[in-house]
Each structure stands twice: as C-alpha cells, then as structure tokens.
Chains A and B, each alone.
Chain A
Amino acid sequence: DAGITQSPRHKVTETGTPVTLRCHQTENHRYMYWYRQDPGHGLRLIHYSYGVKDTDKGEVSDGYSVSRSKTEDFLLTLESATSSQTSVYFCAISESTGGLGEQYFGPGTRLTVT
C-alpha cells in the first residue's frame, strides 16, 4: 500500500462545530484529492490539489475548504459541520494528473455529525 495516512480515523462532532481532517503522504506525489463516500453515490470529489498551494473545487465542494502548505499534507476543513456531511472521507494521491494515473487511497475517516 502507498504511504498514505488519514487522521483522525473516526470522529463524532456536533452540528455547527469546525472539523479538520488530515491526509499525509510519504510518496511525494504531486496530486492529492478528497472524496466523500455515501451509499448509492460512489465516490464524489470534494476538492483536489495539483501542487503546494494549488487547489481546485470538485463536484461537491460547498461547505468545505482545503489547504496544502506542504507536498505531504492536504487538509480538509468543514467550517461549520452539518448532518449532511456525515460520511466516510477518503484522501487519494496520484503521481500523474487526475484521471490519467492510478489513484492510491488512504484508509478513510468516518465522520458523524450529530
């Protein structure tokens, strides 16, 4: 498995609180992604990064922000968590531009917003 870790692995938080999820890689891959996985929806892209400080929105970016200050770390922040953001969040990395190279996924973070 590629060197990708996510923290925390599980989190329960209350509606309205801010939450930050961390993705850390040791592969020095340029591209990093945040997905959410919900039953029946597969994996939906939230945000992605194509380099340090270079990020762009995915298809479900509302309510989320990201930052990438170092190659190895990609942070996903929920500014004010809502129950609709209860989901499993996966980070992925890729050596090649998104969609061309295979993506390696982290173990996931299960987030519950009560």
Chain B
Amino acid sequence: GQQVMQIPQYQHVQEGEDFTTYCNSSTTLSNIQWYKQRPGGHPVFLIQLVKSGEVKKQKRLTFQFGEAKKNSSLHITATQTTDVGTYFCAGRRAAGNKLTFGGGTRVLVKP
C-alpha cells in the first residue's frame, strides 16, 4: 500500500533559526496537504499543493511539491515559539479518494 514517510521525526530548533521537514511518498501523488497539530490539540489544515514543482508561501512557511510529485517539503524561517507542534503531510494517490498521512515531524523550539 501507499506509504508516506516524514523526516525528521523530531526537530529541535533554536528560536530564530530556519529548518526544513521532508515528506516522501512511495507512489506518485495527485496532491499533498500539510497540517499542524499543537500539543494537546487537533490537526489543522495549512495548505494543499497540486501541481508538479508548485511552491506556496504562508508568511514564514514555504511549501514545495516535488517535480515528480513524490515528495514535498516545509521550510520555516526565523522559527518562533508559536511554531511548536507536529507537522503532518498527507498525500492522495491519483484516482484515490483517501489521504495517507505521514508520521509527522514534532518541532520543539528552544528560546
């Protein structure tokens, strides 16, 4: 079956630094979504990428979909304590009707 892997599993970041988390699928994806889950909370939708090579920005967050549509990345610049949480990617196969979530990257910020 389809597998979606995220690395790293944990990311300790100094406040103000940048970091990137990566998402890799075993199959070509039709689209990919990113969610953020704060500690003790529920996942919240951040963005969806559909086109090959697509790049989207939300303030300090930059999302990219790979050319082969099998991988994606989330880059955060100037990390803040409000960025703490777990970031999940979730991909859908072509002609599929379900999302497969990655294991998530848990981000901890050191002030």
- Closest approach, in angstroms, between the C-beta of B107 and any C-beta of chain A? 15
B residues within 8 A CB of A59?
Answer: 1, 100
Complex interface residues of chain A between 81 and 96 (CB less than 8 A to chain B): 90, 92
Q: Which of B1-29 contact A (CB under 8 A)?
A: 1, 4, 6, 9
Category for how many chain A residues contact B:
20 to 34
Could you tell me the distance between the alpha carbons of A106 and B42 in the complex, rounded to whole angstroms? 7
> Which A18-76 residues have C-beta < 8 A from chain B?
35, 40-45, 48, 50, 58-59
CB < 8 Å neighbour of B30 from A44, A48, A50, A99? A99
Q: Contacts A99-B92, A100-B31; is A45 near B98 (CB within 8 Å)?
A: yes
| B45, A99: Cβ atoms closer than 8 Å | no
Give the residues in chain B near A105, CB-CB below 8 Å. 42-44
Partner of B99, one of A50, A103, A108: A103
Q: How far is the CB of A11 from chain B (nearest CB, A)?
A: 17
Is residue A97 contacting chain B, with contact meaning CB distance below 8 A?
Answer: yes
Known contacts A102-B33, A106-B42; A40/B98 CB under 8 A: no
B97 at the interface (CB under 8 A from A): yes
Q: Which residue of A lies closest to B88 (CB)?
A: A42
Which residues of B approach A to under 8 Å, CB–CB?
A: 1, 4, 6, 9, 30-31, 33, 41-45, 48, 88, 90-92, 96-104
Q: Which 4 pairs from chain A and chain B are nearest by CB?
A: A99-B92, A102-B45, A42-B101, A105-B42
Q: List 24 A-B contacts (CB under 8 A).
A: A41-B103, A42-B4, A42-B101, A43-B88, A45-B98, A48-B98, A50-B97, A59-B1, A90-B43, A98-B97, A98-B99, A99-B31, A99-B33, A99-B92, A99-B98, A100-B31, A102-B33, A102-B45, A102-B48, A103-B45, A103-B99, A105-B42, A105-B44, A107-B41
